[in-house]
Amino acid sequence: MKEKIDTVKSHFSNDEKVITLFEHCFSNTYETTIRRKEDGTTFVITGDIPAMWLRDSAAQVRPYLMLAEQDDDMADMIEGVIKRQLFFVLHDPYANAFNENPNGNCYHRDKTKMTPLLWERKYEIDSLCYPIQLAYLFWKATGRTSHFNETFIKAVQTIIETWKIEQHHEKQSEYRFERDNCPPSDTLTREGKGSLVTYTGMTWSGFRPSDDACQYGYLIPSNMFAVVVLRQLAEIAENVLKNQELKESALKLADEINEGIQKFGKVEHPVYGTIYAYETDGQGNYNLMDDANVPSLLSLPYLGYCSIDDPIYLNTRNFILSNENPYYYEGTAAKGIGSPHTPEHYIWHIALSIQGMTSTSEEEKMRILDLFKHTDAGTNLMHEGFHVDDPNHFTRDWFSWANSMFSEFLLSLCGQFVKGSPLRK
């Protein structure tokens, strides 16, 4: 860890604030959220909530993959995260967040198939994408293949089967989710089934990476993420597992989902031309927006779905970084993408990190770096959302995912990338 901190110190030797931010943010996840277990697995709390999200935990440890290349202890810790994630997937592929022990703690007493191990059971495509991505990047970073075992094979087969069922959500899915006495964004309509969809080839998602309910069931950026990780899985199946059946199964599903994206996921915008929608239902309804949480439309090159100069991506980027995106905010202190998950006029540090890492403009990258320096509210840590006019008003003062994303952005400015990352030159 000291080596990466020294790298940043050397690169930003004349900027004490940047160095201080990185020292605090880069060490935050490791020092405050990692819990190594006697069984060799690693439980990772999200920060101010004592549960482990499949999505957050993968993103939280991702920058440490750069350390794991030479540090066996760090590699052991991350392999433990992967093992714990695979265990959770096999326990219930429809759950998004889990308890450290089967203690029955939960966010809410929801109408869905809960178990004592589940903190929350909001079904999100990306919750199943992130463990595959982390396993793949861990392999690329360390060369280790010990995590590609029978448990891994069973877990990814479960993921594929779940995504295939949810291609036919109306006819085949048994998943339901309802929450009483809550905002509409916290529950699904039609007695927990969600808004009506028709078959497209894409796979259905009940909730977004924000844990907010989807307006329309085909969440485009999450389907794109699924395409990416299925192709990564095919590479693992071919080169490590020597499992032709798994490879073909992964590629077939990736092609079906991608065909659905290309057929149903694009719209013609009167100002920006052909762009990707955020959500659709396969019936001609579209939700044109972007959300701060990853996967997002802004993050597509970061995920590896398209190149950073892809024409449709650039059109989409121009749209979502404009006032046409209902969750793009501009104020006296900052401008960027927020989320319906947080109050109006709050933008997210996670989205700023993604915007910086997917930009080809050094001027834009430096502007975003300057925003980080002036929007931490003097805490030397990142937050969930902050007000565009007054960064002293923010949500979640202990949000590990945001700290890790900032760390990854800053390391990218130093030419440091995770092995296997699409942004690595």
Residue 409 lies in a domain: yes
Q: Dmax of the chain from CA atoms?
A: 61
Amino acid (1-letter code) at residue 106: C
Neighbouring C-beta atoms of residue 196, cutoff 10 Å: 15
For residue 406, what is the enclosing H or E element? helix 400-413
Residue 77: its pLDDT value, please? 98
Q: To the nearest 10°, the Cα dihedral for 299, 305, 306, 312?
A: -70
Residue 379 lies in a domain: yes
> For residues 225 and 261, what is the distance between their CA atoms, to the nearest angstrom?
11
Residue 92 lies in a domain: no
Which residue has tokens 């502007």?
Answer: 367
Residue 3: its pLDDT value, please? 87
SS3 string of 113-164? CCCCCEEECCCCHHHHHHHHHHHHHHHHHHCCCCCCCHHHHHHHHHHHHHHH
> For residue 388, what are the domain limits?
1-32+327-418
> For residues 217 and 79, what is the distance between their CA atoms, to the nearest angstrom?
33
Q: To the nearest 10°, the Cα dihedral for 103, 106, 110, 116?
A: -20
Neighbouring C-beta atoms of residue 239, cutoff 10 Å: 12
- Sign of the torsion formed by the C-alpha atoms of 344, 386, 27 and 103: negative
Token representation of residue 309 = 């100069």
Strands (E) in 123-265, as ranges, are 218-219
Residue 185 lies in a domain: no
Q: Are 21 and 15 contacting, i.e. CB atoms less than 8 angstroms apart?
A: no
Q: Is 344 exposed, middle or buried (0-12, 13-18, 19+ CB in 10 A)?
A: exposed
> In tens digits, what is the pLDDT along the chain, a chain of 425 residues?
888 899 999 999 999 999 999 999 999 999 999 999 999 999 999 999 999 999 999 999 999 999 999 999 999 999 999 999 999 999 999 999 999 999 999 999 999 999 999 999 999 999 999 999 999 999 999 999 999 999 999 999 999 999 999 999 999 999 999 999 999 999 999 999 999 999 999 999 999 999 999 999 999 999 999 999 999 999 999 999 999 999 999 999 999 999 999 999 999 999 999 999 999 999 999 999 999 999 999 999 999 999 999 999 999 999 999 999 999 999 999 999 999 999 999 999 999 999 999 999 999 999 999 999 999 999 999 999 999 999 999 999 999 999 999 999 999 999 999 999 999 86
Residue 265 lies in a domain: no
Domain count, the chain: 1
Which residues, in sequence order, are CB contacts of 216 under 8 Å at separation 6+? 195, 197, 279, 280, 281, 285, 286, 287
Residue 355 lies in a domain: yes
SS3 string of 334-364? CEEEECCCCCCCEEEHHHHHHHHHCCCCHHH
> For residues 271 and 284, what is the distance between their CA atoms, to the nearest angstrom?
20
Residue 64 lies in a domain: no
- 379 pairs with which residues across the strands? none
Residue 19 lies in a domain: yes
